[in-house]
Amino acid sequence: MRELYILPFDHRGSFMQIIKAASPPSEADIAKAREYKKIIYDAFSKSVIGGVPKDKAGILVDEWLGREILIDAKRQGFITCTPLEKSGQDEFEFDREDWKEQLKELGPNYAKVLVRYNPEGDEEINLKQMEKLAELSSYLETQPYRFLFELLVPATKEQLSAVGTNEAYEKDTRPGLTAEALRQLQESGINPDIWKLEGVDTDESMQMISEQVKTGNPEAGIIILGRGESAEKAEHWLRIGAKADNAIGFAVGRTVFKEALEQHAAGKTTREQAVNKISQNYSFFVDVWKKVKSES
């Protein structure tokens, strides 16, 4: 499977926080958010012009704040991904009831969902989510859009209490829960082309998750997400993740653009400087990934 370097900026609620929008956002806030997403898109385009392979570079952006970007990116021949989930929900819900029509209108290469699923969490919610997602997976098998599934495994209160700290959960508990979540989702009929997964801290954890992905579908790929962490942490996760043979890339967003946009919003940098910084950050992670893969 071809490698995939995604710059995700499909954030909605958290993006409004970056630009210091009111709640609910005003029309001026929404216009500003759309302009700031164009800054990210311009930075992405600059990186491709600067040497990031166009056939491996992709954007993930939402319809609400990035519809014009999706249309232009498709016209330019870039890889496009768009989210189908409602933003900021603990339980998966489609952003639009007519999500099939949404896909026809936007025509992305990848239909993406973000799902919070802990195999030891609320059983009723888990079953409701799996039913919706299995329907989506079955539908996409008959369509030209590929399926990108972002899995987050947040700790339950009981799990955090048992291990003591969030750091212990992340290192020692989450990897095993991720593998079990993958198994349950796979066995419920959910079969994405690519799993977008949280990074892990050890080669052993990454190998366990990689093997579970293969068990469900030997052809499925993995991309590593950044979770808005520091550049150092995201780089660590990419270096671990890239060692798995079915890991094909990454999706690092806020780590790439958040600080640059905040600096610009505060009047400390020009638009051009913000574009340059975001482009440099994105290209940095591309270089990290390519280097580790070449050494694997």
Give me the domain span that covers residue 37.
4-295
In this prediction the pTM is 0.96
> 112 with 83: CB under 8 angstroms?
yes
Give pLDDT tens digits along the chain (296 positions).
Answer: 899 999 999 999 999 999 999 999 999 999 999 999 999 999 999 999 999 999 999 999 999 999 999 999 999 999 999 999 999 999 999 999 999 999 999 999 999 999 999 999 999 999 999 999 999 999 999 999 999 999 999 999 999 999 999 999 999 999 999 999 999 999 999 999 999 999 999 999 999 999 999 999 999 999 999 998 999 999 999 999 999 999 999 999 999 999 999 999 999 999 999 999 999 999 999 999 999 999 87
| Residue 34, domain CATH | 3.20.20.70
115 has which bridge partners? 151
Measured CA to CA, the distance from residue 169 to residue 68 in angstroms comes to 40
Neighbours of 265 (CB within 10 A): 15
> 213 with 247: CB under 8 angstroms?
no
Q: Is the peptide bond before 24 cis (omega within 30 degrees of 0)?
A: yes
Counted domains in the chain: 1
pLDDT tens per residue across span 119-143: 999 999 999 999 999 999 999 999 9
